[in-house]
């Protein structure tokens, strides 16, 4: 990656896509609202789907922000169509033959969120460096979708991606 680029990550059981990766269930298992190296990532049926085997991004990840969608961009004042992670997921799943009804909560790798002592949520400037990576091991046959988040609006204190714009991500699948 080129740095400071959020990656919305979704995973489905390839045999039944009604079973998807669930950050909320994973919070409880690991007692953490952020994914950490070595942790198990589970489905909404609480079955292990992946292991977070290597974190090459210094822990800068999020499991709380819903995927961006057209309506979020409109709430921010954008007029007209805007690409979004929700749309990217719909298109990717359509290519696999599935028309999905629900956009699951993603794991937002390379996304800098912070919760203060009063539980206020902020997204300080994204510090993820070029070349950062994460490595995951699949524990069942999965359909995985990665969306390079197209968030590019100038919102004060909400810098999801680099100020320089949205960049591509590289996905490698190993046996």
* Chain contacts with Zn ion (rule: CB under 5 A): 68, 85, 149
Sheet holding 40-42, edge to edge: 40-42, 48-56, 133-138
Minimum CB separation of residue 70 from Zn ion in Å reads 11
41/65 with CB nearer Zn ion:
65
CA-to-CA dists, residue 130 to 1, 54, 110, 168, angstroms: 6, 16, 11, 11
37/69 with CB nearer Zn ion:
69
30/106 with CB nearer Zn ion:
106
Interacting residues of 145 by C-beta distance below 8 A, sequence separation 6+:
9, 10, 11, 88, 89, 92, 93
Minimum CB separation of residue 165 from Zn ion in Å reads 14
Minimum CB separation of residue 84 from Zn ion in Å reads 6
13/93 with CB nearer Zn ion:
93
Write out the two tokens for 88: 């990217």
Minimum CB separation of residue 63 from Zn ion in Å reads 14
Query: Regarding beta strands 48-56 and 40-42, do their DSSP bridges make them parallel or antiparallel, or are they unpaired?
Result: antiparallel
């Amino acid at each position: 990656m080129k740095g400071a680029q959020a990656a919305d990550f979704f995973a489905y059981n390839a045999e039944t896509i009604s079973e998807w990766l669930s950050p909320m269930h994973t919070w409880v298992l690991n007692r953490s609202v952020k994914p950490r190296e070595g942790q198990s990532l589970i489905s909404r049926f609480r079955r292990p789907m992946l292991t977070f085997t290597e974190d090459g991004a210094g822990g800068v990840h999020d499991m709380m922000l819903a995927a961006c969608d057209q309506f979020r961009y409109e709430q921010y004042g954008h007029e007209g169509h805007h690409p979004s992670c929700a749309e990217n997921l719909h298109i990717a799943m359509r290519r696999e033959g599935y028309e999905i009804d629900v956009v699951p909560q993603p794991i937002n790798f390379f996304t800098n969120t912070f919760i203060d002592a009063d539980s206020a949520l902020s997204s300080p400037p994204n510090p993820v460096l070029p070349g950062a990576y994460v490595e995951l091991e699949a524990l069942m046959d999965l359909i995985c979708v990665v969306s390079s988040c197209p968030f590019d609006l100038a919102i004060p204190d909400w810098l999801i991606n680099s100020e320089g714009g949205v960049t591509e991500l590289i996905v490698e699948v190993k046996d």
